[in-house]
Amino acid sequence: MLNSTPADVFGGVEQWMVRAARGLSSRGHTVGICARPRSMLAERSAGADLAIVAGAGGADYDPLRSAALARAARRNGATIAIVNYNKDLIQAARARRRSPLRHLVMRSVLPMLDTSVRHQRLYRRHLDGIITPSREVRRTIEAYPWMQGVRVQNIPNGIELARVDRARARYGGRGPTRTAFGFTPDHFVIGGVGRLEPHKGFQDLLEAAVQLAHTRPLTALVLVGSGSMESELRTRAEAVARGNLQIVFTGHLDDPDAVMPAFDVLVLPSTTPYETFGQVLIEAMAFHVPVIGSRIGGIPEIIKHGQNGLLVDPGEVDGLASELHRLAVEPELRRRFARVGRRCIEEHYREETMIERLERYLFEMGRPEPPLDGRQQVDCSCPSGYSGWVRVMSGIN
């Protein structure tokens, strides 16, 4: 798995790669993560006992890293590479000439795709498959004429449900978590988790919380994350926070599960159509937290309005404030959304299901006939050299 993301970034794609690699490794496959040296992705992969393989860097053309990737592929018999950026696809394509690599797959969120003529040729010549997190992304990609020969598969993200039990054991659950913030049982606590960037819409969430506080005393807003808008949001919060509105900034948290149980509702107010999934939504639903999301991108595939959560038009502060007020004054509605949301996760978004779908797709990519049942033990005695163990290699600086 190649991902040349900057060293200080560990977002949704990087989280997916670590979880997918860990899941495939647990099912008997040899998996390597190709990341920038000393990057957050490399650190998290090493912490998850995954291989760190040389071969990911910042340049489109880097012969040394392509050669290192080819050597690692030969050493481990690797036949499939899952890439993130276009530069990763270029490196894998060069390495394929001198290694057992046969199939190159991109795990795509739309911003990673470039529709320039140069990259259209790159996809046609070298890309064998694309994994998308939502049907919306799949429809968009399949509409591109230059993607007609590429095998596109939608595999929604998943969540490990055991995280909820671990968080409860470690942090104490709803009561202790709220107490740690200074919230009373009567506070209505709104949560926002993600990068504090303009396209995430947290400025709209802040304004909606201000509106709600005018009619609903003891309102609290917790923003978890960091980003380019953090300073601006903090300045605005200082100007509007009053006795009936408490605003908390936690900054980046390595473990957002520590705060999730404190929320009465989790809001993802994105304004960009590139919000192709919304991982934080399924995380909140797993924790029995009701959710509100923007009617944009892949979010409506997770939230069914009025059934397991609420949808609002992106950028509509008044509409968001209205739906927040609805949840604040209807505790039974919150409880219903919590129950149905959790059931939705159990039925459709388990991490085990994600790994099974991914494994089946890779088998179909690399072998003519997939297993009859994704839950069966997979026969890995193939010429590619899968061995069920992980080799740890040092990266190239």
Complete DSSP assignment for 166-235:
HHHHHH--HHHHHHHHT--TT-EEEEEES---GGGTHHHHHHHHHHHHHHSSSEEEEEE---TTHHHHHH
In sequence order, the 6+-apart residues with CB closer than 8 A to the CB of 155 are 131, 132, 133, 354, 357, 358, 361
The model's confidence at residue 380, banded by pLDDT at 50, 70 and 90, is: very low
pLDDT, residue 381, reads: 28
- Please give the average per-residue pLDDT across 49-72, as a whole number: 81
**Per-residue b/e over 194-209, b at no fewer than 16 CB within 10 Å?**
bbbbeebbbbbbbbbb
pTM, rounded to two decimals: 0.84
Residue ranges of domains in the chain, CATH in brackets = 2-158+350-366 (3.40.50.2000), 162-348 (3.40.50.2000)
Nearest to 320 by CA among 218, 211, 208: 208
Token pair in block for residue 99: 């290694």
pLDDT, residue 282, reads: 96
115-136 per-position pLDDT tens digit:
788 888 999 999 999 999 999 8
- Please give the average per-residue pLDDT across 204-219, as a whole number: 95
Does pLDDT of 394 surpass 50? no
216-256 per-position pLDDT tens digit:
989 999 999 999 999 999 999 999 988 889 999 999 888 88
Helices (H), the chain: 12-26, 40-47, 63-76, 86-96, 117-126, 135-142, 162-171, 174-181, 202-215, 230-240, 279-286, 299-302, 317-329, 331-348, 351-366
311-333 per-position pLDDT tens digit:
999 999 999 999 999 999 999 99
**Residue 251: Cβ within 10 Å count:** 10
Does pLDDT of 395 surpass 80? no
- The percent of residues in the chain predicted with pLDDT above 90, rounded, is 64
Coil vs helix vs strand at 109: coil
7 vs 236, higher pLDDT: 236
- Name residue, tokens 């939504």: 281
DSSP category for residue 390? -
- Please give the average per-residue pLDDT across 92-106, as a whole number: 94
Dihedrals φ, ψ of 225, to 5°?
140, 180
359 vs 64, higher pLDDT: 359
DSSP β-bridge partners for residue 8: none
pLDDT, residue 65, reads: 86
Does pLDDT of 155 surpass 70? yes
Q: What is the largest CA-CA distance in the chain?
A: 67
**Terminal C-alpha separation, the chain:** 18
Instruction: Report the chain's mean pLDDT, rounded to a whole number.
Output: 87
Nearest to 256 by CA among 272, 244, 268, 242: 268
The model's confidence at residue 376, banded by pLDDT at 50, 70 and 90, is: very low
pLDDT, residue 76, reads: 87
pLDDT, residue 61, reads: 77
Cα separation of 101 and 78, whole Å? 6
- Please give the average per-residue pLDDT across 362-376, as a whole number: 58
pLDDT, residue 375, reads: 37
Nearest to 282 by CA among 203, 221, 343: 343
Does pLDDT of 374 surpass 80? no
The model's confidence at residue 110, banded by pLDDT at 50, 70 and 90, is: low
pLDDT, residue 112, reads: 63
State the burial class of residue 184 (Cβ atoms within 10 Å of its Cβ: 0-12, 13-18, 19+): exposed
249-289 per-position pLDDT tens digit:
999 888 889 999 999 999 999 998 878 889 999 999 999 99
Cα separation of 26 and 209, whole Å? 43
The model's confidence at residue 111, banded by pLDDT at 50, 70 and 90, is: low
- Please give the average per-residue pLDDT across 45-64, as a whole number: 79
* Element of type H or E holding 265: strand 265-268
